[in-house]
Structure 1
Amino acid sequence: MKNKDFNWKDYHHQIYQIYHGMIALTLVPFALLFLEWDSSLEKVEVDYSSVLFILAAQLFWVIGFACWYVWKGERVLYVFEEEMSLHEKLKEFKRKNIYKYLILAAAGFIAAFAMWVQPSFLFVIAYFAVLVQYSFLRPSEDKLVRDMRLSKEERNELHSK
Structure 2
Amino acid sequence: MELKPNEWKDFHHMMYQIYHGIIALTLVPFALLFLEWDSSANKVEGFSSSPSFIILAQLIWIIAYASWYVWKGEKVMYRIDDNSSISEKMREFKKRSLLKYGILAVAGLLAAGAMWIKPSFVFVISYFAILIQYSFLRPSEDKFVRELRVTKEEREMMHSN
CA distance in 2, matches of 1:69, 1:138: 17
1:43 aligns with 2:56: no
Q: CA deviation at 1:8?
A: 1.4
Match of 1:34 in 2: 34
Match of 1:145 in 2: 145
Q: CA deviation at 1:6?
A: 5.3
TM-score by length of 1: 0.92
1:16 aligns with 2:16: yes
Q: Higher relative contact order at CA 8 Å, sep ≥6: structure 1 or structure 2? A: 2
Match of 1:113 in 2: 113
CA distance in 1, matches of 2:42, 2:118: 9
Asked if 1 retains the 8 angstrom alpha-carbon contact of 2:77 and 2:96, the reply is yes
Q: Structure 2 counterpart of 1:43, which letter?
A: A
CA distance in 1, matches of 2:25, 2:91: 24
Q: CA deviation at 1:38?
A: 4.4
CA distance in 1, matches of 2:141, 2:36: 38
Secondary structure of the equivalent of 1:131?
helix
Unaligned runs of 5+ in 2: none
Match of 1:104 in 2: 104
Match of 2:74 in 1: 74
CA distance in 2, matches of 1:129, 1:27: 13
Q: Structure 2 counterpart of 1:57, which letter?
A: A
Match of 1:54 in 2: 54
**Corresponding residue pairs, total:** 158
CA deviation map 1:82-136 (0-9, x unaligned): 2211100110011100110000000000000110111001100000000011000
TM-score by length of 2: 0.92
Unaligned runs of 5+ in 1: none
Q: CA deviation at 1:3?
A: 4.8
Is the alpha carbon distance of 1:5 and 1:157 closer, same or farther for their aligned partners in structure 2, counting shifts above 3 Å? closer
CA distance in 1, matches of 2:110, 2:70: 16
CA distance in 1, matches of 2:19, 2:137: 9
Extract structure 1 runs of 4+ deviating beyond 6 A: none
